[in-house]
Amino acid sequence: MSFTIACPSCQRTLRVPENLLGQAVMCPSCSHTFTSPENFEEEAPARRSTVPPPETEDEPRPSKRRVIDDDHDEVDDDAPRRFRRRHEKPSKVQAIAIMTLVGGILATLTAVGIMATIYGLCWPGAYYSLVMGIMAIVKGSQLLGDRASAQAPPSGIAIMQIVNIVNCDFVNLTLGIINLVFLSDKEVKDFFKG
């Protein structure tokens, strides 16, 4: 059996299971933590809106408790999960991040290998490979992080990987082409817009 209450912060109607009455719960809409009422009158209908007393400092933080939002399916009241669900990283973005990072490491090693020769310091492609490698490592690391959607899409790095063919770097050529194909996918474009 569940009871209907209103969030004191946003007034969203929530269904609280009977086992969570009197415990700290979090609104899935506004992430406000409050204590649900301990009991309801027996003769009252199942759908009753109440505003619980204000939250005190001594209340424990809610753990993974379930509250059902009347407007949506069952959702977890844990705010970071709500954020992750909305901004979940697509697998293609994860692949782009890994390919960019691996391409950056290989380009840096290529540059060091070229510079190790006597004529390598005179070849401008070695410096290009070094700079591109460092930029790709930084961008790949950023894309692997939690805030990947806040980053700009790495299409410039992908083009730089393709241009690194001047150093006979066929691996980066392949990775750059695959990155550009993945970056043109609608799901990936929507991820970087959001």
Q: How many CA atoms lie within 13 A of 103 on its CB side?
A: 35
- Cα-based distances in Å from 82 to 31, 40, 138, 177: 9, 29, 28, 34
Q: What are phi and psi of 9, to 5 degrees?
A: -90, -55
- Mark whether 66 and 28 lie in a shared domain: yes
Final residue of a structural domain among 58, 86, 114: 86
- Mark whether 28 and 63 lie in a shared domain: yes
Q: How many domains does the chain have?
A: 2
Instruction: Please give the helix or strand (H or E) that residue 34 lies within, else none.
Output: strand 33-35
User: Structural domain of residue 144, as residue ranges?
Assistant: 91-193
One digit per residue, the tens of pLDDT, for the chain of length 194 reads: 777 888 888 888 888 887 877 888 888 888 888 888 877 654 344 444 455 555 555 555 554 445 555 444 444 444 454 444 445 788 999 999 999 999 999 999 999 999 998 888 888 999 999 999 999 999 999 999 888 888 899 999 999 999 999 999 999 999 999 999 999 999 999 888 86
Final residue of a structural domain among 33, 54, 86: 86
- Mark whether 101 and 152 lie in a shared domain: yes
Final residue of a structural domain among 86, 118, 138: 86
Cα 181 to Cα 92: distance, rounded to the nearest angstrom: 10
**Model confidence, pTM:** 0.55
Q: Give residue for tokens 């750059």.
A: 176
Cα 190 to Cα 194: distance, rounded to the nearest angstrom: 6
- Mark whether 61 and 125 lie in a shared domain: no
Residues in the chain: 194
